[in-house]
Amino acid sequence: MENGKLLGFACYDTTARGFFGPTGVDPDARGRGLGLALFSAALQTMKTLGHAYAFIGDAGPIDFYVKTAGAVEIPAPDKGIYEGMLRSQPK
């Protein structure tokens, strides 16, 4: 929060137990390390709750997750439960 405005969020166990996400950072607040802080806090909490690993569904910035957590992409032929739910960013 900054001046009453939510700058970011990170969720876990929302779509299923052991899943990280959704997550987001306000575009105006990006580049300040908020995404990394939120991601790290969520993973630490998941670990404290007994999770040995986390699934990152429909990851988005895959390079970020590889670099910060050593994530390994699991290729999938389809979007699974997310099929038909994904929307393009407005232009």
- Measure the CA angle with vertex 55, ends 28 and 10; round to 5°: 30
Strand-strand pairing, 8-12 and 19-25: antiparallel
Contacting residues for 87 by C-beta, under 8 A, at least 6 apart: none
Give the global pTM: 0.75
The residue ranges of the chain whose pLDDT is under 50 are: 86
pLDDT of residue 41: 97
pLDDT of residue 63: 87
Q: Which of 40, 64, 67 is nearest to 54 (CA)?
A: 40
pLDDT of residue 37: 97
pLDDT of residue 15: 85
